[in-house]
């Protein structure tokens, strides 16, 4: 069996290869067809890179590399997941007038089941689905998946998603924890079968200006979670926290949710506050097509067309 290497060892090999071949960051970015800031973030360790990205860097530098050996998952701790499924799904009307958004189907498969199947492929022990709008429609999932449990958010219509984390705070604080939007489409069930050594958000790098939720990084950690940014990683609806960090976030969200003035906050607003107070979060890189967000009927139609090609 080949020895597994960690990210820092791999990046040291990349830097050595660049030095030996006299390849600058700008030149490497051109070879890879990515931006120079992106290459800088990878080389500085800002990004928790995937095996796919490592393989691209290795090929560009003509390095020997076995992604299976280098990034073999090493998981022994208890893991849970919180799936956010309580919202109204207003942007996907008229479909969501009769069906909860996470249960809308793509080629016959409910969106939420692609997320559950990815979590189960990793071996996540317990999956808690926070329900609200049309909660009765989710009951079949408890019968189909033995590790799935429903948690009700009774205030889904009057409070933002900060309350969905608050009602599942005890579960989140109990173990290493994924927090996922339930209306995602994950094409590959093996997508989450990667080593995750650090707490952080999954993100897709977007060059130029973005008005969506983004992460700004400095010195290898996320320093801001919020809307709008330039040349940075965009949120894709999945995050992962080791138990101490999950507990810290859960308790902070629970405390904030008790205050009426915080009813309109997103739970990520609380994470942003904690990042500014030293919470150490990384970015787990996502490539185009690995996670697909379906916000509107048009998004759904385009996704189905692409899958039929």
Domain end: 52, 70, 88, which one? 70
Query: Is 226 found in the same domain as 120?
Result: yes
Average pLDDT, integer, range 239-251:
96
- For residue 2, being part of any structural domain is answered with no
Which three-class secondary structure state does DSSP give residue 76? coil
- Give pLDDT tens digits for 187-220: 988 889 888 889 999 999 888 898 899 998 887 7
Same domain assignment for residues 109 and 141: yes
What DSSP string describes 119-167?
HHHHT-SEEEEEEBTBGGGGTHHHHH-TTEEEEE-TTTTTS-THHHHHT
Assess whether 199 and 94 both reside in one domain: yes
Tell me: do 13 and 88 sit in the same domain. Answer: no
List pLDDT tens digits, range 138-194. Answer: 999 999 999 999 999 999 999 889 999 999 999 999 999 999 999 999 998 888 988
Question: Would you state the pLDDT for residue 2?
Answer: 40
Residue 1 in domain: no
Q: How far apart are CA 192 and CA 123, in angstroms?
A: 10
From 25, 40, 70, give the residue that closes a domain.
Answer: 70
pTM, entire model:
0.77
Same domain, 139 and 287: yes
Q: Which two structure tokens, joined as six digits, stand for 125?
A: 């022990």
Same domain for 42 and 174, yes or no, is no
Same domain, residue pair 284 and 140: yes
> What mean pLDDT is predicted for residues 22-26?
89
CATH number at residue 36: 1.10.260.40
Which pLDDT score is estimated for 46?
A: 65
Which pLDDT does position 67 carry in this prediction? 62
Residues 54 and 94 in one domain: no
Which tens digits make up the pLDDT trace of 79-137?
Answer: 999 999 999 988 889 988 999 999 999 888 899 999 999 999 988 999 999 999 999 99
Is residue 116 in a domain?
yes
CATH at 157? 3.90.550.10
101 in Cβ contact with 183 (< 8 Å):
yes
In a domain, 266, yes or no: yes
Enter the tokens of residue 65: 């590399």
Asked if 261 and 281 sit in the same domain, the reply is: yes
User: How many structural domains compose the chain?
Assistant: 2
What is the domain range of residue 214? 79-308
Same domain, 83 and 136: yes
Hey, how many other C-beta atoms are within 10 angstroms of the C-beta on 193? Answer: 16
Among residues 70, 88, 119, the one where a domain terminates is 70
Examine the domain organization and report whether 49 and 98 are in the same domain: no
Tens-digit pLDDT profile for residues 36-64: 778 887 887 766 677 777 888 888 888 87
- Extract the tokens encoding 47: 């990004």
Tell whether 66 and 83 lie within a shared domain.
Answer: no
Dist CA 294 CA 291 (whole Å): 10
Q: Would 46 be classed as within a structural domain?
A: yes
pLDDT band at 68 (very low <50, low <70, confident <90, very high): low
């Amino acid at each position: 069996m080949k020895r597994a290497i960690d990210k820092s060892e791999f990046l040291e090999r990349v830097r050595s290869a660049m030095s030996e071949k006299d390849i600058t960051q700008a030149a490497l970015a051109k070879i890879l067809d990515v931006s120079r800031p992106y290459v800088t973030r990878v080389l500085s360790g800002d990004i928790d890179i995937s095996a796919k990205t490592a393989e691209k860097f290795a090929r560009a530098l003509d390095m020997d590399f076995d992604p299976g050996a280098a990034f073999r998952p090493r998981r022994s701790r208890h893991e849970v997941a919180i799936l956010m499924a309580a919202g109204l799904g207003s942007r996907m009307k008229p479909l969501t007038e009769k069906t909860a958004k996470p249960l809308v189907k793509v080629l016959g498969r409910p969106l939420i089941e692609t997320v559950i199947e990815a979590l189960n492929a990793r071996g996540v022990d317990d999956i808690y689905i926070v329900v609200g709008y049309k909660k009765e429609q989710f009951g079949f999932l408890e019968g189909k998946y033995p590790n799935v449990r429903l948690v009700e958010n009774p205030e889904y219509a009057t409070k933002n998603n900060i309350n969905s984390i608050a009602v599942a705070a005890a579960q989140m604080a109990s173990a290493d924890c994924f927090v996922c939007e339930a209306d995602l489409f994950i094409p590959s069930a093996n997508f989450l079968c990667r080593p995750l050594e650090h707490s952080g958000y999954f993100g897709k790098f977007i060059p130029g200006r973005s008005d969506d939720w983004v992460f700004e990084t400095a010195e290898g950690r996320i320093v801001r979670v919020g809307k709008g940014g330039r040349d940075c990683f965009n949120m894709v609806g999945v995050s992962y926290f080791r138990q101490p960090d999950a507990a810290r976030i859960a308790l902070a969200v629970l405390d904030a949710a008790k205050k009426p003035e915080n009813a309109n906050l997103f739970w990520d607003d609380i994470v942003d506050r904690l990042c500014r107070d030293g919470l150490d979060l990384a970015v787990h890189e996502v490539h185009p097509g690995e996670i697909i967000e379906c916000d509107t009927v048009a998004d759904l139609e385009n996704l189905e067309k692409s899958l039929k090609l």
